[in-house]
Structures are given as structure tokens and as C-alpha cells.
Structure 1
Amino acid sequence: MTDDPIARLGRWRGMLAIGLLYGVLAGIGLLFALVGSNVSPYWPAAGAALALLWRWGPGLWPGLFAGSLAANLVWSHGGLLVSLLIACGSTLGLTTAAALLRRLHCRPELDEPSGPLLLLLVGAGGSAISALIGSLAVVEFGMSGPIELHEVWWTWWTGDTTGVISTTALFAIAWRSGRPDLARWREALLLLLCLVVVCFATILITPASAQGLSPWAFLFFPPLLWAAVRFGPLGTAIAIAMTTAAIAFITASGLGAFADFTDGNRAHLPFQAFTAAAAFTCLVLAAYAASQTRDSAALAESERRYRLVADNARDVVSLHDATGRFTWVSPSVVQILGWRNEDLLGADPRSFLHTDDLDRFPDGQRSTGSEELRFRRPDGSWLWLETAWQNVLGSDGARLGMQMTARDISRRKADAEQLAAAQRGAAFAERMASIGTLAGGVAHEFNNLNAVIMGNVELALRKPGLPEDARRRLEQIREAVDREQGVVEALLAFSRHDRGTGEIVELGRVVTTTLALARRTIRQRRVTLQVELPDRPVYAALPHGALGQILLNLLLNACDAVDRRDDPRVRVILGIDSGWAELRVTDNGVGIDPAISARIFEPFFSTKGEHAGLGGGQPWLHGTGLGLSVCRTLADQMGGSITANCTAGEGTTFTVRVPLSESPVNAAESVPLAAICARVLVVDDEPEIRRLLCEHLTGAGHIAVEASEGAQAIAYLDHEDIDLVMLNWSMPGVDGEGFMRHLELHPERRWPPVVVVSGWAGGGSGIDRWRREIAGELRKPFSRDQVRGTVDRVLCGRALEAGPASSQTGSG
């Protein structure tokens, strides 16, 4: 709903209201008429009309004209022409004054000290116009009697001005203020009683024979000042209007402090001057008090808002003197920094900063700036703060201090560190993937060479009459090749990304091959290594290389833990406990603080290098925080677990538990070998490998056919009967995968079984795609017995599937 009366009442209703109000107050003013029945020393109608025109707009002037015309016709008994001229003068003067007040942006509330002054000056100017036109009409038509024009104008002007200054405020403020505040109604009644007492006092105390202005008239000032100070502009306007009307009635009755001035045209000047001065003074005082109250309220509200922001800010806001010491700190300091206000006030912030950040604390050389600083909390921990400051300058431009805002960015810093660690881990994983691919290729080449060496050594050892010294040397070569094969297999296992399904492995062999990989590091770190293995083999079904990688990670961690120890020792124990295999790695190193022991398996958590805490860890070492996390992931994949038993300063024991499996069954022993003479197609791009395989097959009673690459092998299969294909997987041209794809595209033919011969069949080789179609695998390097066992298992298994008749045919 709008507050504009014009919108609520309508234009015509506004005109009616101003006309009726003017007519009623004009009748009251004409009760004091001195010049005929038209000129009065007190004209409240002028003040009321000016207030409504000022408040609602000069557009209501027709209502004022009609009200003035009717009042003069009814109350003054003048002629129509005289009444028209007087109405024109009143309308012109008051409308001009209202338009000028609005143009000067003078507030009708009169709550600024300049408001009463503008009202007095503009109202006096408008009254001068009304008085000039009205007095000319009265004198011209002989209604003034013997009184001259200037005397009529003077009385008219002073009367209208008195009405303006004493009445305008009442109607202007009352309409704008709405319902009055009745919270101090008792005090208001007391003020009203005081005014009544003053009025009666001036009547009773002033002697009838008094001449001149009675000093008792000044008794009106205290109540009026009381109203100005305590009740604001509205209360003051009400008190002034009531006092002026009361004094006018008392004086017109020949009583009171102004009774001596009731006769004559200028005799009412003391009454008019007194009421105008009292009204103006009290309105200015009320406006000043109202502006002070308003400014104080605005200041209090502004302070409340700033206090609300400061008290509830999630940042720390502080003020500092010219030396940098705290002079004020927002309450949020307790929650964010952990310090109380009294702990910081007067303190130097530098005493709380990290030593590496002292040179970045603002020294006043820059007017504004921002820095990231570390701030010490009461518990000794460090908090990362993003600070922004600005110098506070005096009126002369001198630096008085600075204002600083600090925000906790510890979480952001931690996230950034984790992101950087993740990026380092991703780069590390990518490098490891590249190393794995490279290792696979290198291992393949090594196994090819080892296969040649191993095959020729075995053939040489089988020759009769071999000298004992030569046999001993050949045995040493075979042992060296076996040891190198174990290292290569461990390297391949650690380099795999896709570990595939589990396979039954002998855990003692996993431990020995892993120790062979770590032997160089253990020797360089001067660590004493103790190994305890069970007397009998221990088997478990594990993903390729999983347990070996766990053991390698634990060995490297143990070497780091005993760094800078006088007697570094690491102990590896493999044992059995109720259907579980237990692998324990114990060191006598720095141990782990129990407060952080629960986090050691978290990704990117480390106690080395930049991750080492205050007074703990090993800051001189480098760690990614990924080793133990990988160990837990691999332990979960194996269906096992990994735990840590640690004591700070005394060492750590890591225990890995995996479920046991039955020992693998040798197929050559479980299936009776039949005397089968088979045609075997040997496919390999290495001539020496083909020759060795052919010699081993021929020695076992088979017929060997050679092919140097996959396309040649496919051509043999098209026109010759082949019982078994021994296929090298990695070859130029049509490799093992291309060969298997050709077989898959022609399912109408009955293809012979395929045994893959390869030095590397791990992740990235593509062999996993064909596991179901492949009848067997033979890893390089191989012995004669391994070749014969693999071929016999595949052929016997195929013969059993085909039935007895097929077996007899194959043996012929």
C-alpha cells in the first residue's frame, strides 16, 4: 500500500480537505481581525494550507482558492470582487511558497536544522505576496477605514507569517509522522499540564495596570524547550500551535502578558515577534535534536552491522599500530587461531609467525598487499593464513597503523599438497608403466639368450665322456642362468599392471627372488639381513608378483627406517599359522608414533621428507606416501591382510597373511604318458631357439618341422598334417596373436593344439585374450625335460579327450 495521500484520497478529495481546513481555520483567525473584518494579526489558515500544499503538491491550489473565497464571503462579509482578489492573493502566495520549498528539497518533517529557517524565509515571502494583493483589495474598496495601505499590509503580512511559523509544522509533520509514539504519554500529559499552568499563571500574575511586555511571558519558554528536547519536531509543533493559539485568545481577551498591546495596528507586534521567535527557536532546537538522534541511531546501526560482521566473520580481522602490534582483534580469533583476545592485544604478530615467513610480514613500505603466512597455534601446530592488509593513514597522510584480514587456508594447502603428491604418483606410475614395458622387452631378449645358453649347456652335459672339469664349468653356467632367470621373472612380475588371475606359487621362491632384487640396496645401506624360511615348500594362489612387490616395498621401507642407526638390522620370516602363510618383516629402526599409526596405510601419507612432522619422521629421506597403500591394496587382492606393530624409537614389524593352497599336481605324473610320435611345428624367428626345440623334440621321439614366422606356419597347416604347434608369441610379421586370430576366423577346420613359447607373456603381450584357446605355455629359458613334459601333457590330454582309438592311431 502506498503512503501518498493523493493516491489514497484522490485529487478531488485532497482539494476538498484543504478547502475545508482553510475555511475552518480562517474563521478562527478572523476572530482576531483588526482591520475591518478581513485583516488579523494571527492567521493559522495560511500555515495549514502551506503545509498541505508542501506535502501533497501545489496541484491542490483549486481547493485552497475555493476555501479562501468561501471563508471571505462567509466570515468577513466582503463583496464578491474583494473576496475573489483576496482568494487569488492567498492562493498565489501560498502556492508559490510551497513550490519553492519543494524545489529546495526542504523536508516536511523539519528534522534538519536548515528546515525551520527555510520555512520562515519562504513562508514570509509567500505571505508578502498574499498581503500585498489582499491589502490592495481591502484599501481600494474602502474596507480598511482610515488605516493606510502600508499599515494594512504590515498587519496582514505579520499575521500570515505568524500563522505560517506556528502552524505549518504541525500539519506537515503530523501527516508525515503517522501515529504518534505514546511511549512517553505520562511525560506528555505533564508537559500539557505545565503549559496550562503557565497560561493561567500569566493571566493571574500579570497586573491589569502593567505597561509594556510583561516578563512573565517568558514562562512559556521552558515548556517549549522541554518539548523540543524530549518530543522531537512533532511534539514541538503541537506545543507551539497550542501555545500560540492560547496566547492569541488570552491577548484578544485583554488578559495576560500581552494585554497592553491589544489596541492599535502595530500593537500586536510584540505578540507576533514573541510567538515567531519562540516557534523558530524551538523548531530549530527540535530539528537539531532530531538530526542528532537520527545520526546517533544511524551510527549505532552502522556500528551494530559492523559488529555483526566482525563477530560472525569466518576470517580474522585485526587492527595494528604503527609498530605492527595488535590493538584490536575480532572474536573469530578464538575459533580460528585458538588464541584469546587478551593473549594477542599488545603482542607483536612476528612472535607467532614461522621463522621462514618473518621477512614477508608487512613493514609499512607498501600501502596494501597480501601474503600467505604460517601462524603458530597454542598447541604448537602451524596454521596457514592468507593475509591481506592496508595501511591506516591520518588526516596528514602519516601512517597510523594497518588493518589486516586473515583467512585459514590450511585445508587448501593440504589439498594442494595431496594434488601434487597425486600428480607425482601418477607420473611415477606412468614411469613405472614405461619401465614395465621396457622390462618386458628386455626380459624377452634375455630369455631368448638364456634359452640358447641353457639348451646348449644341457646338450653338452648329455654327451658321454665329458671331462669332469668341463662338466663342473657347465654346471656353474647352468646355475648362473637359473639365478638370472629368477631375477628376470621377479622383474617381470613387479612390472605388470594387469596381474590377471592367481596362480599357485611357492612362497619361499618368491622370497628368495625378491631378496635377490633387493640385495644390492641392502648391501649399500649396510643393513644386516636375517632370513628364516620353513623346511618344506609353502604354496599359495596369488596374483602375479603381488607378494613379491609387497615384500620389496617392506624391505625398502625397513632400510629407510634403520637409516642412521649404528646397528641396522632387518629380519624376514616366512611361516605357517592355522591355514595361513605369514610373512613378517621386522626392523630396529625409528618406529612409528602410535598417534599416526592408523594412517600409515593411507594414500600419500608419509613421515619422510617434506611430510615429516615437527620433532618426528625422517626429513632427510624422500617418500611418496604410496608404498604401504599399494601393499594394502595388493594384500586385499590376495584375500589376505597386512598389519603393523610399531613402537616409536624401537622398530616396526609388518605382518602379511595370505591363505595357503595345496601343492600343484604335476600333470606328467598324474596322466600316464603314451608312446606317441607326433609331428610338431616349431614356429620361432630365432634360428637357435628353433634348432634347440627341434633337437629336444627329436630326442623325445617326435618329428619336428620348422617355420620362421607366422605366415609360413599357416601355410604348413594348409597342406601338412600337424599334431602340435609350438608358437613363439613375439615375432615380426604375423606374430602369435595374428596366428591365433587366423585360427579363430576359420572355425570349420580342426586345428592342432598350440603351445606358446615366450620369454614374456605378461601384461601388454596380448596373450590373456587367448588363454582358453592355448593348450599350454613354455617359458624361456627351458630345459629338455620341460619341453618334453609340456609336449607330452598336451598330447596325452588330447589323446584322452579323443578316446582310445585315437590314441592307438597316434602311436603307429
Structure 2
Amino acid sequence: MTIHPEEMRWRLRVFDSLSFPTRVLRPDGTIVAVNDVFLQVNRDLAENIVGRTCIEANRRHFPNQTFPCMNNRECPLCRAVDSKAGQSVLLHTVDEHGEERWEDRVFSPILDDDGRVGYVIESIRDVTSVKRLEKLYSDMRELIDKVVQSSVSGIIAANRSGDIILANKAAEELFGYTSDEVGEVSIEDFYPAGVAREIMRKLRDERLGGRGKLPITRVDIVNKAGTRIPVEMTAAIIYENGEEVASAGIFNDLREKLAVERKLQEAQAKIGQTEKMASLGRLAAGVAHEINNPLTSILLYGSMMREKLEKDHPLSQNIDYILEDADRCREIVKNLLAYSRQSSASKEVFAFNSLVTDSLRLIHDQRLFMNVEVVKVLTDDELLVRADKNQICQVVINLIMNAVDAMEEKGVLTLATAKDEGTGTAILTVTDTGGGILQENLSKIFDPFFTTKDLGKGTGLGLSMAYGVMEENQGVIYVKETGLDGTSFALELPYVSVSSNEIYESIG
């Protein structure tokens, strides 16, 4: 086919106007033409290039470049000729300034009238800026991935269908799923029923942190085992072109923080209770001493008057009332003095189980137990404690009497001992089958003078004295559990090792 000269000039103008450096090659690699951009980029003349092979020209123009054909790898020119289809290759090099560069070379075959490859057009495109952006993006993705995976907070992202598309190591540990399992779980499975939808509703509410943002919120999550875990979370909706495509949440486990807060509150309450008891103890001591003297006179002269009156005297019963109330006042004064005691505990080492048998034996009015079944569950461990046994027995007796009163002298009283190796303590629990303690009274039961008994049936000093006694002996007393089925009080004392020589000496 004959090509008109004008058409040839037009084709050459198109060839020279290409924005990428371009060469026309024969199938054997001989260069038959180069465009102006190629000459400008390589600062060379056409007569120095045309007629040479691509290998020779490459050595001249790209001395630092490594080409596939140099390493006996398949040549993209040969592939284009053999396949009669376009081929490409990405080449990497370092220029004379030490800068990395990338070139994308595209080989496009031109077929003749017989369908054979007559020429191949090679376009050379500098993709250094693109590759640098790709590397920057890749490095950024890698950095973000490292930050996400190394975060101590659980991070999860889910698509609009609720499928998990990202979960870091902390999230896997928090929710209890492996990396293989987490992709098969819906985001709704991570919360109690309805909570996930409520969070999304809040995320879309512009009044709560702004559109697509949820401020720090306290919620419960559900792990693989079905356990509810309190967490603090923030969340956000991910948008693309203004449309919701995913959501992400950051979770912080609150269990340890809440446990520390509880211990701090308990410690503060204990300090407050100790300070309150100390000040009330000093007050009680002063009041008791002031009352004791006139009370002694009332009892003395009342008794003398009672002896001089005949039994059928009209004032005899009134004197009995006076003496009865005075005797009750004396008992209150006695308790006040005991409550405000200044003497230190006389400590000895004794068998912990003996507290149960000795305390039951020391209760004089055994008629109280006529309709009460006493159950003793004593540990087989040889538990020894160091404390003032008389004081601790009085605490146990007080708990037993309270338990019998709570059951209205009819029910089951259980006294159990146990060893807790984790805390190094011996534990005695006194459990009744009464009606329990009201929730609003739990924080007040160890307060001095607090009682739920009828007027005249209690001073409200028993449990507060027990609290002070246990504290003085390095122990604790607390309500283990209470409810409509009864109440369980617990006493804890540090146990001592049976191998101590000091112990054997103290117990004979």
C-alpha cells in the first residue's frame, strides 16, 4: 500500500506530538524512529540513535538501567512480536544523583497487511512520582496498621452490613475471638441485644458529639463466652463521597479500673468508719463515766427502798420498774465502756475451729436454740490464728444472737470455717435463714447505736463493737450476702503457719 507524502507528514507530526518518549522498533530490535520528546529527554540526535539496536541505545541512554534481556529474562519486545499483543514492563534504576526512578515501558505491535508484526512502538513513561506516592501510601498504611495493632485499646471497624472488616489484637483479646473467627461475627454479636442499633442511632444524632461522632460512652459488651464486660468506648462513622460506608469503635476495658475504684471506696469507707468509731468511742467513754456514778446511787438507794417495803405495798411495783430500767441503763453503760475500751488485745495462737464450739458453749440461754437447727461445717485444715480469743468469741456470740433474732428463734443456723490460701486468711461465716437486711441499711449496720430492733431490745452497739474488735485483731467483718432467704456474715483473720516454733511455744 502506497502512502501519500502528505499523509506521511501527518503521521510524523502525530508521532512527534506524543507526550512520552517513544521509539519505533523492528521485530529484531533495530530502532527506525524516535520522537522529539525522546531526543529532548535524552539530549541526543536522531542520527546517533536510528539504525542502532535497542540494546545498544539502552546502554548509551540508560547506563544504570537493568533490562530483562540483560539477565536472560524474557524480553517484552519479543513477547509483543510473538503474541502480537501489547506488553509492558516496569523498570527500576538509580540515576546519576543517587535518586530512585521508575519507568513504565509499553510495547505496542503494528501489524502489516498480512497480519505479521512489522514494527513495535515503545512508549517510555516516567512513573517515579506515582511510585513514590504509592510507596508513601504503602508506608503510611503500614504505619497506621502498626499503630492500630499495637494499641492497648480494642479497635474494630464494620461495614454497613455489620461484618467485621478490621479488628486489632487488643480487640481480639477483649472479645475473645481469634483473627480467623472475628471475620465471621456480626458487630451486633459484640453487644447485648439492641445496643449496637442504639449506638448507631446516637452516632447519627448531631446533638451527641456531631454528625458521625460518638463521645466517650460507658456501655457493656459481650465476649465470645457470653460474659458482659464494662467498657468505655468512642465511635465514628466512616464516609465516602458523603455516604456511610463503615463504622469504627475504640474500646477500653473498665474491669480493672472499676475494681480499683471499688477498693478505693472501700478503703475510704473503712477510714471513715474507723475515724467515726474513734471519736464516738471517746464520747461514749466520757458519757459512760458521767452516768455511772448517779446510776450506781439510783440502784443502791432503790434496792434499799425495795427491801424496806412490804411485797404488797402499793409502791412496790413502781420500785421494781425503777430498778429494772436502772439495771438496763447499767447494761448500756457497760456496753459503752466496752465500746470505748482503751486496753490492747491479749493475743494468743489458737485453733480457728474452736471459735465455733466455744462460742456456742458460752451462750447461757440454750432455750434460744429449741427450734433452731445448728449446722457446723468445719474445715479439715489445721487452721491456727493469732488473736484475742475472748474478744473474737464475743463477736461470734453477737453474730449468733443476731442470727437467732433475725429468724425469730426458728430456722437453720450454719457456722462454717474455711481457708483462703489466696489471701492467707481463715474465714468463719455465720448464716441464718431470716428475712435478710434491707439494702438501705447495709451501709449503716456497723454504725454505733444503729439498730432495727424494737425500742428497748437493743443498743445498736453489738456490730460496731464487733467491727472494732476485728480491726484491733487485724481482721475484718462484713456481710457476705443477704436476701429474702437469709444473711451470711463473714469474719476473716490471718492464719499463721503451723511450722512456727513461736506457735508451739504459745500453745504449750
Aligned to 1:452: 297
Question: Does the aligned pair in 2 maintain the 1:373–1:384 contact within 8 Å?
Answer: yes
Residue pair 2:425, 2:492 contacting (<8 A) in 1 also:
no
Q: Does 2:409 correspond to 1:409?
A: no
Residue 258 of structure 2 aligns with an amino acid whose one-letter code is: K
Structure 2 residue aligned with 1:441: 286
- Structure 2 match to 1:190: 72
More strand by share: 2
Judged with a 3 Å threshold, the aligned counterparts in structure 2 of structure 1 residues 304 and 619 are, in CA distance, closer, same or farther, namely farther
Letter in 2 for 1:232: H
Residues in 1 aligned to 2:220 and 2:89: alpha-carbon distance in whole angstroms: 56
Q: 1:454: Cα distance to partner?
A: 2.0
Shift of residue 411, structure 1, vs aligned partner: 0.7
**Residue 371 (str. 1) matches residue 243 (str. 2):** no
Amino acid of the residue matched to residue 204 of structure 2? G
Question: Given that residues 387 and 404 in structure 1 are in contact (C-alpha distance below 8 angstroms), is that contact kept between their aligned partners in structure 2?
Answer: yes
Mapping of 1:4-43 within 5 angstroms? none
* 1:371 match: secondary structure: strand
Matching residue's letter, 1:422: A
What is the CA–CA distance in structure 1 between the aligned matches of 2:468 and 2:228, rounded to whole Å?
A: 32
Structure 1: distance between partners of 2:425 and 2:347: 26
Q: 1:229 aligns with which of 89, 95, 117?
A: 89
Does residue 334 (structure 1) correspond to residue 172 (structure 2)? The answer is yes
Using a 3 Å threshold, how does the CA distance of structure 1 residues 350 and 399 change in structure 2: closer, same or farther?
A: same
Residues 383-404 of structure 1 deviation map (CA, whole Å, 9 limit, x = unaligned): 1111111110111x12223111
Counterpart Cα distance in 1 of 2:464 and 2:141: 54
Question: How many corresponding residue pairs?
Answer: 371
Structure 1's 547 and 487: CA in aligned 2 closer, same or farther, altered over 3 A? Answer: farther
Cα offset, 1:409, TM superposition: 1.7
Identical aligned pairs, as a percentage? 15
- Residue type at the aligned position of 2:344: G
The Cα of 1:373 is off from its aligned counterpart by 0.9
Q: 1:187 to 1:601 in 2, by over 3 A?
A: farther
Question: Unmatched 5+ residue regions in structure 1?
Answer: 1-115, 128-156, 175-179, 196-217, 236-273, 520-526, 532-540, 572-585, 608-616, 658-812
> Do the aligned partners of 1:494 and 1:548 also contact (CA within 8 Å) in 2?
no
Give 3-state SS (helix, strand or coil) of 2:89's partner. Answer: helix
| CA deviation after TM superposition for structure 1 residue 549, in Å | 4.2
Q: How does 1:306-705 map to 2 (within 5 A)?
A: 306-322=144-160, 326-340=164-178, 342=181, 345=184, 347-349=186-188, 352-353=191-192, 359=198, 362-365=202-205, 366-369=211-214, 370-395=216-241, 397-460=242-305, 466-469=309-312, 474=319, 477-478=322-323, 480-496=325-341, 498-502=342-346, 542=388, 547-552=393-398, 569=411, 586=414, 620=439, 623=442, 634=469
> Take 1:424 and 1:387, find their aligned partners in 2: how far apart are those partners?
30
Partner amino acid, structure 2, of 1:314: V
Q: Distance in 2 between matches of 1:378 and 1:557?
A: 42
1:392 aligned counterpart, secondary structure: strand
Amino acid at match of 1:190: N
Task: Give the Cα–Cα distance (whole angstroms) in 2 for the partners of residues 311 and 468 of structure 1.
Answer: 93
Cα distance, 1:624–1:167 mapped onto 2, change above 3 Å = farther
Shift of 1:650: 9.7
Gaps of 5+ in 2: 1-34, 96-118, 206-210, 349-357, 375-386, 447-462, 494-508
Deviation at 1:410, TM superposition (A): 1.1
Q: SS in structure 2 opposite 1:232?
A: strand
How far apart, CA to CA, are the structure 2 residues paired with 1:595 and 1:384? 31
Q: Determine which structure has more spread, i.e. the larger CA radius of gyration.
A: 1
1:221-300 to structure 2, matched below 5 A, reads 229=89, 231-233=91-93, 281-282=123-124, 284=125, 287-288=126-127, 299-300=137-138
CA-based RMSD: 6.3
Question: TM-score if structure 2 supplies the norm length?
Answer: 0.51
User: How far apart are the structure 2 equivalents of 1:466 and 1:299?
Assistant: 109
For the 8 Å contact 1:311–1:331, the answer to whether it is kept is: yes
Instruction: Work out whether residues 386 and 408 of structure 1, in 8 Å CA contact, stay in contact via their aligned partners in 2.
Output: yes
The residue correspondences of 1:169-184 to structure 2 (distance < 5 A) are 170=62, 174=64
Structure 1 position 296, deviation (Å): 5.3
* 1:494/1:546 contact within 8 Å kept: no
Q: Decide whether the 8 Å contact of 1:373 with 1:385 is kept in 2.
A: yes
The 2-side partners of 1:500 and 1:367 are apart by 65
Structure 1's 330 and 502: CA in aligned 2 closer, same or farther, altered over 3 A? Answer: closer
Change (3 A) 1:481 1:220: closer
Change over 3 Å in CA distance of 1:502–1:344 after alignment to 2 = same
Indicate how the Cα distance of structure 1 residues 447 and 597 shifts in structure 2: closer, same or farther if over 3 A, else same. farther
Query: What pairs with 1:739-758 in structure 2 (closer than 5 Å)?
Result: none
Q: Please give the alpha-carbon distance, in whole angstroms, between the structure 2 residues aligned to 1:569 and 1:529.
A: 5
CA offsets, 1:26-76, max 9 Å, x none?
A: xxxxxxxxxxxxxxxxxxxxxxxxxxxxxxxxxxxxxxxxxxxxxxxxxxx
**Quick one: which amino acid aligns to residue 349 of structure 1?**
E
Q: Deviations over 1:347-396 (max 9, x none)?
A: 2427723779985564422421221211123434321111111110111x
Q: Do the aligned partners of residues 421 and 458 (structure 1) sit closer, same or farther apart at CA in structure 2, a change above 3 Å counting?
A: same
Compared with structure 1, are the counterparts of its residues 294 and 119 closer, same or farther at alpha carbon in structure 2 (3 Å cutoff)? same
